[in-house]
Amino acid sequence: MEIAKDKWKKPILELIGNSKEPVGSWYIVNNFKKNGIEVSSATVGRELNELETLGYVEKIGFKGRLITPLGKKIIEDANTTLELDYYKNSLESLLSSHVLENFIMVLEARSAIERQTARLAAERITDEELAELKRCYANQQMHSSDRQSIAKDDIAFHSCIAKASKNKALVSLYMMLSTMGQQSELFEQLRHRVGDNYRTYHLSILEAIEKHNPDQAEESMMDHLQKLTHDVNQYWNEYMRKRKDGDGV
- The CATH homologous superfamily to which domain 96-247 belongs is GntR ligand-binding domain-like (1.20.120.530)
Query: What's the rounded Cα separation, in Å, for the pair 146 and 8?
Result: 53
Percent of the chain predicted with pLDDT > 90: 53
Residues 58 and 68: beta-carbon distance below 8 Å: yes
Tell me: the pLDDT tens digits for 132-172? 999 999 998 888 777 777 778 888 999 999 999 999 999 99
Q: What are the sequence ranges of the domains in the chain?
A: 9-74, 96-247
* Domain 9-74 sits in CATH 1.10.10.10: yes
Q: With bands split at pLDDT 50, 70 and 90, how would you rate the model's confidence at 121? A: very high
For residue 29, what pLDDT is reported? 94
Choose among 7, 75, 18, 77: nearest CA to 47.
Answer: 7
Residues 195 and 214: beta-carbon distance below 8 Å: no
Choose among 178, 146, 143, 145: nearest CA to 160.
Answer: 178
Query: In this model, does residue 182 exceed pLDDT 80?
Result: no
Query: What's the rounded Cα separation, in Å, for the pair 42 and 35?
Result: 19
Q: With bands split at pLDDT 50, 70 and 90, how would you rate the model's confidence at 101? A: low
For residue 100, what pLDDT is reported? 62
Name the residue with higher pLDDT: 61 or 95.
Answer: 61
Percent of the chain predicted with pLDDT > 70: 81
Cβ neighbours, 10 Å, residue 143: 16
Tell me: the pLDDT tens digits for 25-65? 999 999 999 989 999 999 999 999 999 999 999 999 989 99
Exposure string of 150-185, with b = 16+ CB inside 10 Å and e = fewer, is bbebbbbbbbbbbbbbbbeebbbbbbbbbebebbbe
Residues 6 or more apart in contact with residue 39 via CB below 8 angstroms = 8, 28, 29, 32
Q: With bands split at pLDDT 50, 70 and 90, how would you rate the model's confidence at 219? A: very high
Exposure string of 16-42, with b = 16+ CB inside 10 Å and e = fewer, is bbebeebbbbebbbebbeeeeeebeee
User: DSSP labels for 27-90?
Assistant: HHHHHHHHTT----HHHHHHHHHHHHHHTSEEEETTTEEEE-HHHHHHHHHHHHHHHHHHHHHH
Quick one: DSSP state of residue 21? S
Choose among 110, 108, 121: nearest CA to 217.
Answer: 121
Name the residue with higher pLDDT: 216 or 63.
Answer: 216
